Structure 1
């Protein structure tokens, strides 16, 4: 197979996260507006070029007040930094469908390298003859490394918001060529 462009199928994709709240539970959320530009050769995935762009203003934690706070300068500062951008820098096979996906991620103007555990599935044809690929990736990001350090100390000790953000990504792509 040759290198092809792949279009994101947004109706079968999602980007979600969770963070510890008050040291006793997890708050979950998602980004509802994102896109990806991918060029890949399914016979040589290490050469894949991929960029994911996330609209910070599309954050949804099912609490309008919390979402507003997350968009504020205390966290993402969405007015100044309206996008989170991930650009793939390496893809290393761990055997089978399992990979280490490394990329540069820019959050609130700070760029750091992160590595995610990824699973790649496909290519496969859907019932209408379209060729599809799937990517699932999981990892943890330290929000303080990106300057998202707002917090409040709890009376019982510890902090209101955890530092570790668990990220879960599910993306489905359709071959464009």
Structure 2
């Protein structure tokens, strides 16, 4: 079975792109209000240049200071609507 995913718009510096994030289920629990809460986490990589972030600096060693690939990490929590 494929992992759950969430699709939505990601806006960075005024540039919006649709992204689909794979989710890893981290658990289900009843919270202090008696509601069943489910947790997920995500780790995905985007290219910063896709969002117009192009600054970089060349290091003395010839490499660059900032990678084009940026890792985004998130923790999500959801409660079933009443």
User: The TM-score by the shorter chain falls in which range?
Assistant: 0.7 to 0.9
1:126 deviation in Å?
3.4
Verify the 8 A CA contact 1:133 1:173 in the aligned structure 2. yes
Match of 2:18 in 1: 113
Match of 1:25 in 2: none
Moved over 6 A (4+): none
Q: CA RMSD in A?
A: 2.3
1:135 deviation in Å?
2.0
Equivalent positions of 1:35-74 (< 5 A) are none
Structure 1 portions without partners, runs of 5+: 1-92
Which structure shows the bigger proportion of residues in helix conformation? 1
Q: Closer, same or farther in 2 for the Cα pair 1:132/1:100, shift >3 Å?
A: closer
Q: TM-score, normalised by structure 1?
A: 0.40
Equivalent positions of 1:10-159 (< 5 A) are 94=2, 98-120=3-25, 124-126=29-31, 129-159=34-64
Partner Cα separation in structure 2 for residue 147 and residue 120 of structure 1: 32
Partner Cα separation in structure 1 for residue 77 and residue 8 of structure 2: 19
Structure 2 portions without partners, runs of 5+: none
Match of 1:168 in 2: 73
Partner Cα separation in structure 2 for residue 128 and residue 114 of structure 1: 32
